[in-house]
Amino acid sequence: MTAPVRFHQKVAIVTGAAQGIGRRVAERLQAEGAWVLAVDRSELVRELADEAVLTLEVDLETVEGAQAAAQAALDKWGRIDILINNVGGTIWTRPYEHYTPPQIEAEIRRSLFPTLWSCHAVLPSMQKQGSGAIVNVSSIATRSINRVPYAAAKGGVNALTASLAFENAQRGIRVNAVSPGGTEAPPRRIPRNTQTQEDPQEAIWYQQIVDQTVASSLMKRYGNLDEQAASILFLASDEASYITGTVLPVGGGDQG
């Protein structure tokens, strides 16, 4: 039995593609026939380079980085059919009162602004061609512990998903999001923060997140990369042609 080819010659931008969910999404899009622009600020993204995969290293926390990514896809293929916004992730884990103001701002910049900027950068070309699918990666952490700034950022992702869907449904553009729950992935090759030694208290707070995540899941387990990628690819595909403005929880029954 051959795998479906849902994305034959579709042009897809995948952000945060160097590791984890983003990397798996880029690999599966390419396997199903897409031309992929894999974007990350880490040079690890170069490992995905292929005849059908163009890689780009930019900082998507800046509007210039997002514009450069959109332009790279347009210069290479002349169109953008799919945008997967995957940049984000908790940098620190701690009760809210233990965050410093710079840390709060850093969390918001990391997990909200890349999605805002990237959507803004691709919309003109999608509107001009009268078609497109955007899938934003949110999180069930919008209802969780020890990561309030991250939760606020992902709540913003959910809100912009709904609002963009309202504005663009009549223009042929669908905008949806997935909210992954806890996900098993290989160890990060580049950490989200620059601490060289693990803080024992931070480890305790992180374990509290793990325990709460498992307890909140009806299945009492973490998901895996393919379970997350499958939901993202579904919403990006024509199989989801009558779905827009939806935030799909993918957390083993945890609705976030």
Sign of CA dihedral 219, 223, 228, 229: negative
The SS3 call for residue 196 is coil
What is the 8-class DSSP label of residue 50?
B
- At 80, give phi and psi (nearest 5°): -135, 115
d(Cα 71, Cα 63) in Å, to the nearest integer?
A: 12
Q: Look up residue 200 and give its amino acid.
A: P
Q: Choose, from 150, 206, 222, 242, the residue flagged as catalytic.
A: 150
The SS3 call for residue 42 is coil
- Is 83 within 8 Å of 122 (Cβ atoms)? yes
Residue 150 falls in the annotated catalytic set? yes
Write out the DSSP string of 59-85: -TTSHHHHHHHHHHHHHHHS---EEEE
Residues linked to residue 82 through DSSP beta bridges, in sequence order: 12, 133
Element housing 185 (H / E): none
d(Cα 110, Cα 157) in Å, to the nearest integer?
A: 12
The SS3 call for residue 34 is coil
Active-site positions read 150
